[in-house]
Structure 1
Amino acid sequence: MTRIIDVCCGSRMFHFDRENKDVTYCDIRRESHILCDGRSLEINPDIQMDFRNIPFESNSFHAVIFDPPHLVHAGEKSWLALKYGKLNQNWKDDLKQGFFECFRILKPNGVLIFKWNETQIKVSEILKLTDQKPFIGHPSGKRANTHWFCFMKAGEL
Structure 2
Amino acid sequence: MSKRVLDACCGGKMFYFDKDNPDVEFCDIREVDNLEYYPGRFLNVKPNTVSDFTNLPFEDGSFKVVVFDPPHLIHAGDKSWSRLKYGRLEEDWEDTLRDGFNECMRVLDDDGLMIFKWSEIQIPLRDILKIFQAEPLLGEKRGRNKNTHWLIFMKPASVQEVQSEKP
The code of the aligned residue for 1:144 comes to K
Partner of 2:11: 10
* 1:67 corresponds to which of 63, 66, 69: 69
* 1:47 corresponds to which of 34, 46, 49: 49
Deviation at 1:39, TM superposition (A): 1.0
* 1:127 corresponds to which of 129, 138, 145: 129
CA-to-aligned-CA distance 1:6-27 (integer Å, 9 cap, x gap): 0000000001111100000000
1:107-118 mapped onto 2 (5 Å cutoff): 107-118=109-120
The code of the aligned residue for 1:138 comes to E
Is the 1:7–1:25 contact (alpha carbons within 8 Å) kept by the matching residues of 2?
yes
Partner of 2:164: none
Is the 1:139–1:145 contact (alpha carbons within 8 Å) kept by the matching residues of 2?
yes
16-25 vs 34-43, greater mean Cα deviation:
34-43
* 1:96 corresponds to which of 95, 98, 101: 98
Partner of 2:151: 149
SS at match of 1:100: helix
CA-to-aligned-CA distance 1:38-77 (integer Å, 9 cap, x gap): 2111011000000000111101100000000000101111
Partner of 2:36: 34
Is the 1:2–1:24 contact (alpha carbons within 8 Å) kept by the matching residues of 2?
yes
Higher helix share: 2
Deviation at 1:154, TM superposition (A): 3.7
Is the 1:109–1:154 contact (alpha carbons within 8 Å) kept by the matching residues of 2?
no
CA-to-aligned-CA distance 1:81-101 (integer Å, 9 cap, x gap): 111011000000000000100
Structure 2 unaligned blocks of 5 or more = 161-167
Structure 1 unaligned blocks of 5 or more = none
Q: CA RMSD in A?
A: 1.1
SS at match of 1:151: strand
Deviation at 1:153, TM superposition (A): 1.4
The code of the aligned residue for 1:7 comes to A
Q: Give the percent of matched residue pairs that are identical in Structure 1 and Structure 2.
A: 49
Deviation at 1:37, TM superposition (A): 3.2
Deviation at 1:128, TM superposition (A): 1.0
Aligned-partner Cα distance in 2 for 1:21–1:144: 32
Instruction: Count the aligned residue pairs.
Output: 156
Aligned-partner Cα distance in 2 for 1:7–1:124: 22
